[in-house]
Structure 1
Amino acid sequence: MTWCSIHCRTGVEEVGVSKSSKKVGPKAIYSDAEKVERAALGLPADAPASPVSIQRGKKGRGRVSKTAIHAPDVLNEAREYGSAFTRGMRVDLPGGVTHLLLSGTASVGPSGETLYPGDFRAQLWRTYHNLTRLLESEGATWHDVVRTTCYLRDIERDYQEFNQVRNEFFRALGLDPFPASTGIQARICRSDLLVEIEAQAILLR
C-alpha cells in the first residue's frame, strides 16, 4: 500500500474564485469567470440550473447502463443532508461485465449520523459493515472487490490499528489475493469521522 498526504483547502481566496459569487434568496449571482464556465457547460449564466442535458457524446454512440446503489437499512442517501453524490454506482458494460463503484463510505448510520465518535476501530468496522451491505445489494461480496482507496484522518496515530482490523477482516473472509489498495491521509468531510473507504468491484453476469 502506498501512503500519501492530501491537504484540502476550499476557501474562495485559496482557489482564486471571485468572492462576488453568492446566493441571494432563490437565485444566485455568479462572477464573470463562473458565467464563462457555466456557459461552456450549457448552463444558464444568471440562475441556478434546472435539470438540463449537457451531454455531448458522439452521435449514435451507445451508452452504458448506470444504476444507483442503495443500502437504506444501514445508511441513508447522501443527498438527504445536502451532498451531491450517490452511495455507489452500478455500471453494466457490454459482454456481461458489471462494475460496482462505491463512493467514499464511513461510519454513518441510517439517519446520516456519525457513529462511534472518537473510536477508530469501531468506526472502521462500521465502515466495512456499510460497504458490505452496499455490495450485497447488488449480489456482490468482498471476493469481487478489486481495489480500495482508504482515507485516514491521522495516519501516524491510526495506521497500525487500521492495518490490524483490515487484515483480520480480509483473512476472516478468506480473501486471496487481497484487493489492490492505496492509502491517503485526508481531511474527511466531518471532523468526527476518522476513516473513509472507497471500493471497486467487478462482476461477470
Structure 2
Amino acid sequence: MSKKTVYSPKVLKSPNPHSQATLAGNHFYTATVALNLEGKVVGVGDIEAQTTQALTNLTYLLEAAGGTIDDVARVMIYLSDMRYFEGMNKAYKNFFFGDSLPSRATVTGTFGIPELLVEFDVIAYIDNPKVD
C-alpha cells in the first residue's frame, strides 16, 4: 500500500508540520477547520459559518484525492463547547444526508486558535483515488 500526501490549492497549506490530507492506499485521512486561504478564521462566533467552511475545505481535499463527500466513512467532530451542537448539526446536514451518512462522534476540546469553534477529523474510503 502506498502513502501519498494530498494538497488542494483551494485550502490553506498549513505552516505546521502536517499535510492537508493523506491517502494510504484507498484510505483518506484529514482534519479540517474554518480557515480561508489567507489563514483567517471564517465566521468568528458563528458555528454554522465555521461548519460550512470546514466541510467545504473537506470537499476540496476529497476532490484533490479523487473522492467525494459520499466517500466519507467516519467523522470525529470536536466542538469548543457543546452548546454549538445544534448549529453545527444544521450546517452539517447540508453536506451529509441520504443513504451515505458516515458514522460520527462529537466531543468537546480546545483549539490552538481561540476563535475556532469546530474541527472535523475525517476518514474516507475512495474506490479510485488520484495517484498522480
Larger Rg computed on CA atoms:
1
What's the offset of the Cα at 1:204? 2.3
Q: Note the aligned Cα RMSD (angstroms).
A: 1.3
Q: How many angstroms apart in 2 are the aligned matches of 1:76 and 1:177?
A: 27
Question: Which 4+ runs in 1 deviate beyond 4 A?
Answer: none
Equivalent AA in structure 1 for residue 18 of structure 2: F
Aligned length: 128
Equivalent AA in structure 2 for residue 99 of structure 1: H
What's the offset of the Cα at 1:168? 3.5
Q: How many angstroms apart in 1 are the aligned matches of 2:100 and 2:64?
A: 23
Q: How many angstroms apart in 2 are the aligned matches of 1:165 and 1:108?
A: 16
Q: How many angstroms apart in 2 are the aligned matches of 1:116 and 1:166?
A: 15
1:76 corresponding residue in structure 2: 12
- Choose from 122, 126, 130 the match for 2:57: 130
- Choose from 18, 34, 41 the match for 1:85: 18
Q: Secondary structure at the match of 2:119?
A: strand
Q: How many angstroms apart in 2 are the aligned matches of 1:126 and 1:158?
A: 15
Unaligned runs of 5+ in 2: none
Deviations 1:15-52 (A, max 9, x none): xxxxxxxxxxxxxxxxxxxxxxxxxxxxxxxxxxxxxx
Name the TM-score, length of structure 1 as normaliser: 0.59
- Choose from 150, 160, 167 the match for 2:86: 160
Name the TM-score, length of structure 2 as normaliser: 0.89
Q: How many angstroms apart in 1 are the aligned matches of 2:100 and 2:29?
A: 20
Are residues 1:101 and 2:24 paired?
Answer: no
Equivalent AA in structure 2 for residue 71 of structure 1: S
Q: How many angstroms apart in 2 are the aligned matches of 1:162 and 1:90?
A: 27
Matches within 5 A, 1:175-190: 175-190=98-113
Contact 2:72-2:122 within 8 A present in 1 as well? yes
Q: Identity percentage over the alignment?
A: 27
The higher relative CO (CA closer than 8 Å, separation ≥ 6) is in: 2
What's the offset of the Cα at 1:111? 2.4
Contact 2:70-2:100 within 8 A present in 1 as well? no
- Choose from 33, 40, 51 the match for 1:113: 40
Unaligned runs of 5+ in 1: 1-63, 93-97
